[in-house]
Structure 1
Amino acid sequence: MTITGPQARAARILVQWPREYVARKADLSGEDLLAFETGAGMFDADASLRLRKVLELGGAVFLPEDADGGVGVRLKFTAKDARALDRMENEGGAYGSDDV
């Protein structure tokens, strides 16, 4: 499934990642991502796939057009799940070897 610029922007906002971070992770320039999100630019299939995969890693789910409506994007996790994941990711602490 190819994604649109507005879908990419909505997904990036939903996962709360800055444009430069997403661009770097998808091996794109921030300027090219901005152009894509605003409809002033396009990506080839490979770049579009890289962008989609990065946003999906953040928890975005892209919805195809169907009989009930247009294309869309939503979060994979509920707000409660996202808060729990944020809490777990920020716990930190020392780690040790596991010599079982």
Structure 2
Amino acid sequence: MSLSPAQCRAARALIEWSRDDLAEKAGVAVRTISDFESGRREPIRATVTMIRSSLEAAGVIFVDENGEGPGVRLRKGA
């Protein structure tokens, strides 16, 4: 499961979550979210999985690289 810092920031914006909101839902430290989104540090795979899963549960769909770059969108009805 991959997730870029930009996708994480964009996903939070789509569902109007703060870093605190995401940290709480994913069960990780706010500093982990901050460091990841700013590119200061790449979390371990399990942490990225928890972050991504929390965002997906809230209605975010991650679009993989398709020649135009990775992205995010909201699930219909979310």
User: What TM-score comes out, normalization by structure 2 length?
Assistant: 0.91
Q: What is the deviation of 1:70?
A: 0.4
d(CA) in 2 for partners of 1:48 and 1:17? 17
**2:8 maps to amino acid:** A
* Runs of 4+ residues deviating >6 angstroms: none
Q: How many residues align?
A: 78
d(CA) in 2 for partners of 1:5 and 1:41? 10
State yes or no: 1:45 paired with 2:45: yes
Q: Which residue of 2 aligns with 1:97?
A: none
Q: What's the Cα RMSD here?
A: 1.1
Q: Deviations over 1:56-80 (max 9, x none)?
A: 111110000013x101111112xxx
Q: What is the deviation of 1:6?
A: 1.0
% identical equivalent positions: 35
Q: Tell which has more relative contact order, 1 or 2 (C-alpha 8 A, sep 6+).
A: 2
**What are the ranges of 5 or more consecutive residues in structure 1 without an aligned counterpart?**
83-100
> Which is greater in Rg?
1
User: What TM-score comes out, normalization by structure 1 length?
Assistant: 0.73
